[in-house]
Amino acid sequence: MIERFDAIVIGAGMAGNAAAFTLASRGLNVLQLERGEYPGAKNVQGAILYANMLEKIIPDFREDAPLERHVVEQRFWFMTERAHTGMQYRSEEFNEEKPNRYTIIRSQFDRWFSKKAQEKGAILLTETTALELVQDAYGKVIGVRTDRAGGTIMADVVVLAEGVNGLLGTRAGLRKSPKADQVALAVKEMHFIAPEVIEQRFNIQGDEGVVIEAAGAVSEGMAGMGFLYTNKESVSIGIGCIVSDFAETGKSPYQLLEKFKKHPSIRPLLEGSEVKEYAAHLIPEGGFKAVPQLFGDGWVVVGDAAQLNNAVHREGSNLAMTSGRLAAEAIFQIKSRREPMTAENLSLYEKMINDSFVMKDLKKYKDMPALLHTQSQNLFLTYPQLVSTAMENFLRVDGVPKIDKEKATVSAMKAKRGWTGLVGDAVRVARAWR
């Protein structure tokens, strides 16, 4: 049996649900395919949800979305083996009527988001894997072949929201698989703790939440970071590093996570917790230079499948939702004009995404992935150690004159990087940050 839809969306993650919701809301006939048992069954995120991008899709989402805590405090930790130097920002401004960031649990959130798309009329088929894109003699994508019996389905346009692996698009030759230095492998655990213990440990009340991002010795010189986020009755803890670094060093993400959990600054935060879930997932971290062709005849690609991820700010789901929404808006406009889904017409999606924060942010940090990779030893080992040495010298009161302590700090810096190294590093970071 061959059926025909206005659009087929592959995947019911952040990008796919945003696209399906927007397309169905505009009255298009949408089919969504999800290989998992239910939306979110296989999806992994820290997870911080950025409210602004969801509001643009479902303005009243706070009424019934499964939200954990709203974030009032963010801590950044530069770690050595036995210490951390911290910077933190906490503000009453984040205790606003409509908070800006929430922690979520993707298995619950994706189900809710998908239900919203279905309420608008999108048809969801779970436990259905899209195996291959169907193309006509000219290469135009005209449908999808699934693993269901007789499961070829035709559509005017296919939205590829299949996540970081993006097998469907690469199999069809629409883009290359991301390289090992363009993706991070992250592992994450959920530790269950009584809500009142979480509130006391993190100095929060009600549904306030705290997030911690940790860089330094935890990644053992590889480009990567650890995180710890508070949920209602659990904390999510995880760590991720670039895949090629794991391959070169032979280290495993699981070892890093075990070490991170035992760090003296982290261990007390997990004390008495019960681990209930463990997950591993890739994150696209190649940045602007890794973004592939975003559209073609009969197709568009959104979210992680399009490498839309801002590793510097740890943002991915918001870029996924925004790209899904913009792709759907572009498709709707083309459909409204009764024009075909050609590459020329679908280039509207690229224009819209270039004009949005998504591509502007990725462009701003275009040189950052290379810097993090080539300078990982300095940025993730040398500098956290130097900062820690400086803090120790500054704070320890032991009868050594302060002038001698300052000299010790400066000579440690000179010994590790030298003046030219220090200036060069500052220039490199400033350039990549522009």
- Which residue in this structure is represented by tokens 């169905």? 24
CB of 317 to ligand FAD, least distance (A): 3
Among 7, 24, 44, 362, binds ligand FAD (CB under 6 A): 44
Among residues 24, 141, 168, 235, which is the contact residue for ligand FAD, using CB under 6 A? 168
> Could you tell me how many residues of this chain bind ligand FAD (CB under 6 A)?
40
Residue 131's SS3 state is strand
Q: Does 283 bind ligand FAD (CB under 6 A)?
A: yes
Q: Please report how the helices 343-355 and 357-364 are oriented relative to each other, as an axis angle in degrees rounded to 10.
A: 70
Minimum gap (Å) between residue 418 Cβ and ligand FAD = 37
C-alpha distances out from residue 84 to 35, 253, 352, 397, Å: 42, 21, 42, 19
**CB proximity list for 96: less than 8 A, separation 6 or greater:** none
Percent helix, strand, coil in the chain, to 5, is 40, 25, 30
45 sits near ligand FAD (criterion: CB under 6 A): yes
Residue (362 or 413) nearer to ligand FAD, CB: 362
Closer by beta carbon to ligand FAD, 109 or else 383 = 109
Among positions 338-397, residues that touch ligand FAD (CB under 6 A) are: none
In the complex, least distance from residue 81 CB atom to ligand FAD, rounded to whole angstroms: 23
Tell me, residue by residue from 113 to 152, as one string, x for binding to ligand FAD by CB under 6 A and - for no binding.
----------------xx----------------------
Cβ nearer to ligand FAD, comparing 26 with 188: 188
Four-CA torsion 100, 103, 109, 112, nearest 10 degrees: -50
Distance CA 172, CA 170 (A): 5
Strands 30-33 and 3-10: parallel
Q: Is 390 left (phi over 0), alpha (psi -120 to 50) or beta?
A: alpha
Shortest Å, Cβ 29 to ligand FAD: 19
Rounded Cα distance between 103 and 106, Å, is: 10
Tokens found for residue 108 = 């619950």
Least gap, CB of 369 to ligand FAD (angstroms): 15
Q: Answer yes or no: are the C-beta atoms of 226 and 237 closer than 8 Å.
A: yes
42 sits near ligand FAD (criterion: CB under 6 A): yes
**Residue ranges in contact with ligand FAD by CB under 6 A:** 10-16, 33-36, 42-48, 129-130, 161-163, 168, 186, 188, 238, 240, 281, 283, 303-305, 309, 314-318, 320
